[in-house]
Structures are given as structure tokens and as C-alpha cells.
Structure 1
Amino acid sequence: MIVASAAALGEGRFRPVVLLAALVAALLIQIGANLANDLFDFKRGADTTERTGPVRVTQAGLLSEREVAAGTAVTLGLAFLVGLYLVWAGGWPILAVGMASIAGAILYTGGPWPLGYHGLGDLFVFIFFGLVAVVTTYYLHTGEAGAVAFTLALPVAFIVTDILVVNNLRDIATDRAAGKRTVAVRIGARATRIQYVLFLAGAYAVPLALGLTGRMGSLFWLPLLSLPLAYRLSRTVLGGSEGPDLNRVLKGTGQLHLLFAILLGLALVWRP
């Protein structure tokens, strides 16, 4: 959303209320998705005492299954209500996107054929938390969703997907035991580590390509300021780190996602 809003601001078509509403809706969907994932992974046996990731409230006994289910329903319901304003602001296409996002939050690990258990988690995150998030926000600001929006969405999609890649790399053993056939389980740890680095490379390739072809202005290099962090994360992943070390990479990848978006946003706002 930072990238899409910065692009709209640079074009003089920024709508602050739309940004605020979109941020609230996205945050609520993210919380709802996390709660649903917490609940359904516990039910399916993917979250056990052997898990080395951050605390899961259902598995840890901090909340009951009923409480987590209620929290999921409330947050996704609130997201729907906020989304009604966005439908008013952007038209019926926004309703379709919003309903698909809410459904995806549940079907990622819930339902009779959970996406995350059949190797579709990476694709789901790439599309919904990357492409859809950026393109929809840009559309809400400008009324357009062309090639520019999709291109700017690519680096965001690559890095946000890498957050899941690290998570699944860390959980290969427990996911395999629970029958959760993530991409990492299917291709193995070595290939997953390479996937992580390739996705980071893809993220940096986009602003470079736009800048070198004259489509982004002279500050296209700004996102490169985050390269030292990306290098450290890549070196840790390729070095064979596991368990708690990958938790640090998980946190660092989230930080990289935010830093990269801010730097790319600055490059889009100021185009000397």
C-alpha cells in the first residue's frame, strides 16, 4: 500500500481517506487470516510442541478454539464493514476483490481443501498480499489498474512471499509430519533456500529495470539502499541456518519488506 499510494501521490492523484480505509481493512484481514491459520493448523496437527516458530495462541493454550474462531469472525466481519466504504469509493470490482481476500484468509488453511496444505501458499501470498494489495490500492486512488501498477506490485509480492518461504523452510519437518505439503516440503530445504534468494533478486530487478529504461526517474536506485540487509539475510539462509536463526531471518525479512517499500515509495514520490 505504501508503494501504490506513493505512486498515486507522485502523480497528484492521492486520496488520503482511501489509504486509511484500505490500511485498516488490510490489517483486519491480515489479523483474521493469522487467527484462522492459528486455529486450523492446530486442528490439523501442524502446530505441535516441536514447532520452533513464534507462539501460536491456540497451540499454547492462551485462547480456546472457540475464542480464536470468534476472533477470526469478528476481525473479518469488521474488514467487510470497512470494505463497504472502499466499494463506494472504487466500485463493484472492489467488492469482488474484498470477498476473495476474506475467503482466501479462511481457505488458506481451512475448508476441505486448504490451499496452504497443497503447495499453493506461496502463490496465494504472492497474488493477494503482493499483486492484489498494490494494484487494488492504486486503483482506489486513480481509477486505473494498468501495467504500471502490476509492475510496481512485483517487488512487493516477491519480498512478502519470502516471509512465507522462510516460515515454511523453518517448519519443513513438522509440516511434513502433519501432511502439510508446502512448496518447501515438496522441493526440499536446499531448493527453498535458493528460492528465497531468487525472490529477493527479482524484487531488486524491477526498480533497476524501470530506472534503466527511463520509466521511473533518477531516484530508481533508492531501494538499493536496503541491499546490505538483503545480503545478510541471504547469507544466513544459504548458510544452512535452522530453527531460531530462521526466526531472526523471518523478522528481518519483514523489516526488509517495509524498508524496501518506503525507499521505493520515496523514489516514486520524487521523480526529478
Structure 2
Amino acid sequence: MQPQLNAKTSSSPTRHNWRVWWTLTRPHTLTAAFVPVLIGTALSLPYTKLDIPLFIMMLLASLIIQIATNMINEYYDFKRGLDHEGSVGIGGAIVRDGVKPKTVIALAFVLFGIATLLGVYICMESSWWLALVGIISMAAAYFYTGGPYPIAYTPFGEIVAGLFMGILIILIAFFIQTGTVTGESVLVSMPIGILVGAILLANNIRDLDGDKENGRKTLAILVGRKNAIIVLATMFAVSYIWIIALILSGLISPWTLLVFLSIPKPIQATKGFIGKTIPITMMPAMKATAQTNTIFGFLLAIGILLSYFI
């Protein structure tokens, strides 16, 4: 059902402060953009001297595209009647703080423009082939919830998110430092891609009932809530097992076993979804899922760095 605009929504924001705009960025999602850049850069250090300006530009571009994607999500979910004042897990700038929808979507495109300028610098310092990669990435960010057939409304949302916000960012961050992509960098990127996809799956588990009512066909809806939780737990398990396999194969250092310090978070996330059907009660599990990606990723980067310097 399309939410009704109240007086607050149709005017300017009632809270004229930075918190409205900060919340609109959905800051809890931003580590999904930061961590892959850190890992890709850490992987590059044995091959080249760190180019700090390129690292900073890549980091900023990734964060800006993530923020723009969140704003596009906010806009289209509102336009399609999915968001309302009681919705959880959203920025809420439109439905709660009175920001006009056209302002949100315009700001998203401004951010895409800024990311494009940063991308031009990155291409000038590395390869213009990255321009094509950047265009495809921004298109994926837009069509994730925008356009007539949003990716987020299909069973492929987790795959697309993991590919573009996990694997691809790591490989680009590695490439701009080294000028190449190695088998090691591809294999190390996989568990991060899986964990980014897990964030989207957790989101879809939380929103399963509402998404079903609005005609979405997410993976969580197709397999059912109970099986979706099993899939989520499997994704967590595969990420940790993947690290063990890479260590045993000699591709990465045993220092990367540090990622296992994050195991309490996926356990908390999985348990937090079991037996829950009300979205607000699943928010701690959602938070734990995002924290799994963040802590796992930081510990992986630290483990990689330690293997070079110790």
C-alpha cells in the first residue's frame, strides 16, 4: 500500500541538522565499502609501493557509491510503497524527516557525479579500462532498486551485491596499485563477497513478509524463512572454511586465522533470526551480520599485513 504523505513529509525536514543526512547514508552499511578497499590494498603491498593518493581516491569513490546506492534504495522503496514511518532498517529521511523524494534522488546522482570525477583520476593513474568497470558498477548500483525490474526484488540480489560490493572492489583496489589481478587476490576476495551477500540475505529475511506482500521474489521468499536462515549460516561457515583452505594451500599466511576471533558474531546473527518473524526483533541479528563482515574483513586485512611485516 502506498504510504500517505503527511504534512511533515511534503515540506522541508523538521530536524534541520546533520543527523537527518547522516542517517540517510545508512552508516551501518558503509564498512561494506571500506573493508574491501583495505583488503585489496593490503594484498598489493608485496608487489608494489603503496600509492596513498590512489588508495584514498578509491576509498572515497567506494564510500560515495555505497551512499548513493542507499539513497536510490530509499527513493525507490518509498515510491513503490515499501517504506513507511514504521519501517525498520531504513534511513527514513523521506517518510520520517520530511526530505522531499526528488531531493534524495537528485543527491544520489550528484554523488555519482563526484564518484565519476574520482574515477577519472583513478583511471588516469592506472588504466582507462576501469572506466568501463566503474560505469557497470554504478549501473548495478542504480538498477539494484531502480528501474522497472529491480535486482533487489529477484533471487539474485545477494549475488550482485557480493560481486560488486565485495569481490570487485577488492580486485580494483589491488589492480590500481599493481596493474594486474592475481589468482590470490581473486581467491581472497571470495569470502568477503559471500559476507556482503549475507548482509543482503539477512535484510531479506527480516523483510520477508512485507516483501512477499509487495510481490518481491527474493531468495528468502523462494526458499522460506527457515531455509533462508540455514543458507545464511552456511554462507558464514563457508567464509571461515575458505580461509582455512587458502592457508592449507599456502596462498595466505596462518596469521589470517585471526578472522576466527569474529566467530561470535555470525553465531549471534544466526541465533537471532531463529523463531523471529517481527522485523524489529531481528534488528540485533541484522547488526551482528553486518558486524561479521566488518570484523572478519578488518581481521583478514590485519592478518595479511602481519604476514608481511613479521
TM-score exceeds 0.5: yes
**Alpha-carbon deviations, 1:232-253, whole Å to 9, x = none?**
2222234546422321222222
Q: CA deviation at 1:154?
A: 0.8
Contact 2:192 2:297 (C-alpha < 8 Å) held by counterparts:
yes
Identify which range, 4-13 or 248-257, moves more after superposition. 4-13
More displaced 10-residue stretch of structure 1: 239-248 or 262-271 = 239-248
Aligned residues: 272
1:86-138 CA-partner distances (Å, limit 9, x unpaired)? 11122122101110111111111111221112222111101100111111111
Higher relative contact order (CA 8 A, sep 6+): 1
Q: Which residue of 2 aligns with 1:193?
A: 229
* Correspondence for 1:20 among 56, 74, 77: 56
- Matched residue of 1:152: which SS? helix
CA 1:220/1:241 → structure 2, altered by over 3 Å: closer, same or farther? farther
Q: Assess if the C-alpha contact under 8 Å between 1:138 and 1:149 holds in 2.
A: yes
Structure 2 residues without counterparts, runs of 5 or longer:
1-36
Which deviates the most, 53-62 or 128-137?
53-62
Distance (whole Å) between structure 2 residues aligned to residue 47 and residue 167 of structure 1: 14
For the Cα contact (< 8 Å) 1:219–1:270, is it kept in 2?
A: yes
* Structure 1 residue 220, shift from structure 2 partner: 2.9
13 and 199 in structure 1: CA distance in 2 versus 1, 3 angstrom threshold? farther
**Correspondence for 1:30:** 66
- Corresponding residue to 2:145 among 102, 109, 128: 109
User: Is 91-100 or 58-67 further displaced after alignment?
Assistant: 58-67
Whether 2:93 is the aligned partner of 1:90: answer no
Tell me the amino acid that sits aligned with residue 248 of structure 1. Answer: P
Quote the sequence identity (%): 27
Return the offset for 1:49. Answer: 4.5
Contact 1:10 1:269 in 2 (8 A): no
Aligned equivalent of 1:175: 211
Q: 1:127 aligns with which of 149, 163, 172?
A: 163
CA drift at 1:50:
5.2
SS in 1 for 2:256: coil
Say whether residues 1:77 and 2:75 are aligned partners.
no
The letter for the 2-side match of 1:125 is A
Aligned match of 1:45:
81
Q: Which piece of structure 1 moves more, 112-121 or 122-131?
A: 112-121
Counterpart contact for 2:276–2:282, Cα < 8 Å = no
Mapped partners of 1:33, 1:238: distance in 2: 29
The one of 256, 264, 285 aligned to 1:249:
285
Match of 2:189 in 1: 153
* Partner of residue 222 from structure 1, selected from 258, 266, 283: 258
* SS of alignment partner, residue 214 of structure 1: coil
Structure 1 unmatched runs, 5+: none
RMSD between superposed Cα atoms in Å: 1.7
What is the distance in 2 between the residues matched to 1:237 and 1:14? Answer: 41
